[in-house]
Amino acid sequence: MKKIMTVCVLLLSLQCIAQDIQKDSRAKFDVGLEGMAGVSFGNNFYSFNVGGPSLRLRLNQDLSVGVGALPSFYVRNGKTGARLGVSPRVDYKRWVLFAPFLHMDSTDEWVFSVGFGYKFTSH
């Protein structure tokens, strides 16, 4: 009888611990929408960028670093166009510092610029 009671108490304790761990893991998961609009400037070049898909490492609640794709409308040497850029980025609260690289097919060269943006979120 003692063995059965010991097993029941042990199973009940494990169940309580498992539920406690499960509650903590749910609290860390966050879902929401996020968008970014920004401008960047380079040599005879400026662009309006919107945040595309990105991979980021969150260092703390306010700061993250990563890399992402930036759909961009640009003006280069007085001519306009649209390109998809690749950019490292640093996010601090709602502000983003990014440095997009865009490939120009007609001249087969990469254009570099530096810019800043603002994040819109709905958490």
Q: What is the pLDDT of residue 15?
A: 64
Q: What is the pLDDT of residue 52?
A: 83
Question: What topology is assigned to 33-122 in CATH?
Answer: Porin (2.40.160)
Distances (CA, A) of 18 to 22, 24, 47, 107: 6, 10, 52, 60
pLDDT at 26 over 70: no
For residue 80 the two structure tokens come to: 């306009």
Q: Where are the domains of the chain?
A: 1-30, 33-122
Confidence of residue 9 (pLDDT cuts 50, 70, 90): low
Contact present, 102 and 121 (Cβ < 8 Å)? no
pTM surpassing 0.85? Answer: no
Name the residue among 40, 32, 35 with its Cα closest to residue 86. 40
Mean pLDDT of all residues in the chain? 83
